[in-house]
Amino acid sequence: MHRDSDRYKTFSRRSIILFGGKIFLLSGLASRMYYLQVVDGEKYKTLADENRISLKMLAPKRGRILDRFGRPMAVNQQNYRVLLIPENTKDIEFSLAQLGKIIPISKHDVQRTKHKIKRRRRFLPIILRENMEWNDIARIEVNAVELPGITIDASESRFYPNGIEAASVLGYVSSVSEKDLTGDPLLELPGFRIGKAGVEKVHELALRGKSGTSQVEVNAFGRVIRELEHREGLPGAEAWLAIDMELQKFVTKRLSDEAASAVVMDVHTGEVLTLASTPSFDPNAFSRGLSQSEWKALASNSLAPLNNKAISGQYSPGSTFKMVVALAALEKGVVTPKSQFFCTGELELGDSIFHCWKKTGHGTMDMMSAITQSCDVYFYEIAKRTGIDRISAMARRLGMGQILGIELTGERQGLIPTRAWKKKVKRVSWQQGETLLAGIGQGFILTTPLQLAVMTSRLVNGGKAVMPYLTRQIVPFEAAEPTSPEILEFETIGIHPPHLDLIVKAMAAVSNSPYGTAYRSRIKEPGFQLGGKTGTVQVRRISKAERETSIKKNKDREWHERDHALFVGFAPVKSPRYAVSVVIEHGGGGSSTAAPIAKDILLEVQHRDPSRGQAKAKAADRQAAPEIKKVIKE
């Protein structure tokens, strides 16, 4: 009995200890559960929600680009895409084969799609085609039953209604590259595109807008179950340009397929109405994504369609530079407007002979007649007396040899040489013969078509330092409508007014005097006459042997050996409002090739101006008045 009693006591003690241990453990577990569910409940609820809720960034609508009259130049359009959801089809190849009966599906497309499927979850869609035509989309929808896993999706993509005609101004948008990443999460969105050239690039941040968000519930595998909250982004601002899109179309068409450029600007405000460069490219191709063959064709084209020649093409200005030389000579006082020199057709300097374009010579020339007839010998003489440094200083005052700051990428500054420049860069001294070449706008001098338009504007607007610009206004999305553009005031460049008057009269004579080099390209309509200056630039040196025998005409030479053709002009003569510069690479003579194009452009821009239309009506009334009086008298 005694032993049984001891065993009972031992068993009871162990049971109590074991029971107590269980109570202790259960109490600890209860305490921990209380702590997790009550004390830290909000924390773990938040963590659970973060695992359950996914926040997606939504791309905003890109801001439109409009011309001066509100006509769209860059917009967003519906982008219909064909998607494949792998988990919705048992046979990928079958679905693609069925789709291939409706739209082209290459073997490469099939292999690329299979490769993507292996790398992604099967419920995630794969883009098969973008920017689909509506007819193809309709055919796919009609045959949807026979296309397991194939679905249609609608998004937005950039669209340029005017295609190649506005590419030199707008540039294009394209996919984000590694070097474009700046920390903005928007740039990492699949398929997001940014401005890579032109206005699209310069105003990228304003046009881009602010992203939106979509809060969705997902399961453990990342599949979207439902959308909890949707917030649209803030669309980008609208860019209103100074460009007249209809005039831009006209100019681009007039330049045809030449390697050429043209700039039209308001001589008083600096607004650039047209900035054309040909041949061009279709920016829509970049929006949809260029193929390797398309890119190769553009990059290897000898006429450089991707190069905006209006701002980055650098050319010797030729005789269009003679007004600069004339003003420098007048300012220095080495000549007067009445100073005369006799042109025999050539000028000797040491052992060298400098020829005039007119082999027989022009005879006695003063400044007015020398500009009108573009006498080279006259300008050799006054350039020699003026010196290269004074000529260069005048060129810079007229806008050459510098970045003008127009809102486009790729602008180049050209080259206006001085003695110091040559010593520093070429490490040799300046030669007087180089001054003579500068006197007719050749040698080291390089300018851009935009600079030539600015030069012309400053010559005819009374000597105001007008600067070119493209953007009239950036209008935020919230704004109801654009306000009136700011009227800019420009300082004077300090040229004696009588000297400028002489230049304007001489340029008017170039186009309206029978002796003028551009007389055949004059505007005959009353009140619409133009003034200007032709330029023909040699791209190769003419040998002595060629001069002694016969110099080949431009039409008989290889294209790359033909002269560049230039023309700068303004209109109307009596009250200048518009300036134009035209450069045709290897186009031949400035009077025969560039001047007729400039004439058509200046006539068109005046016809498009409502105030000029009223002037035309008044001029017609004045012309008809004598005839009306005669009828009444009879």
Q: Which of 486, 491, 488, 497 is nearest to 460 (CA)?
A: 497
| 15 in active site | no
Residue tagged 């590694």 (tokens)? 178
Whole-number Å distance between alpha carbons of 243 and 71: 10
Considering 157, 319, 369, 374, which one is annotated as catalytic?
319
Q: Quick one: tokens of 486?
A: 């700011």
**Alpha carbon 571 to chain centroid distance?**
26
Angle at which helix 322-332 crosses helix 388-397, to 10 degrees, equals 110
Whole-number Å distance between alpha carbons of 191 and 194: 10
Whole-number Å distance between alpha carbons of 623 and 442: 44
Say if CB 217 and CB 233 are below 8 A apart: no
* Own/partner long-range contacts of 431-438 (Cβ < 8 Å, ≥24 apart): 432/349, 432/384, 433/349, 433/350, 433/352, 433/354, 434/388, 435/383, 435/384, 435/387, 435/388, 435/391, 436/347, 436/349, 436/354, 436/380, 436/383, 436/384, 437/354, 438/321, 438/325, 438/383, 438/388, 438/391
**Alpha carbon 8 to chain centroid distance?**
101
SS3 8: helix
Over its C-alpha atoms, the chain yields an Rg (Å, rounded) of: 37
Q: Quick one: tokens of 15?
A: 């049971």
- Strands 193-197, 172-175: pairing kind: antiparallel
SS3 315: strand
The secondary element (H helix, E strand) that includes residue 26 is helix 2-34
Catalytic residues: 319
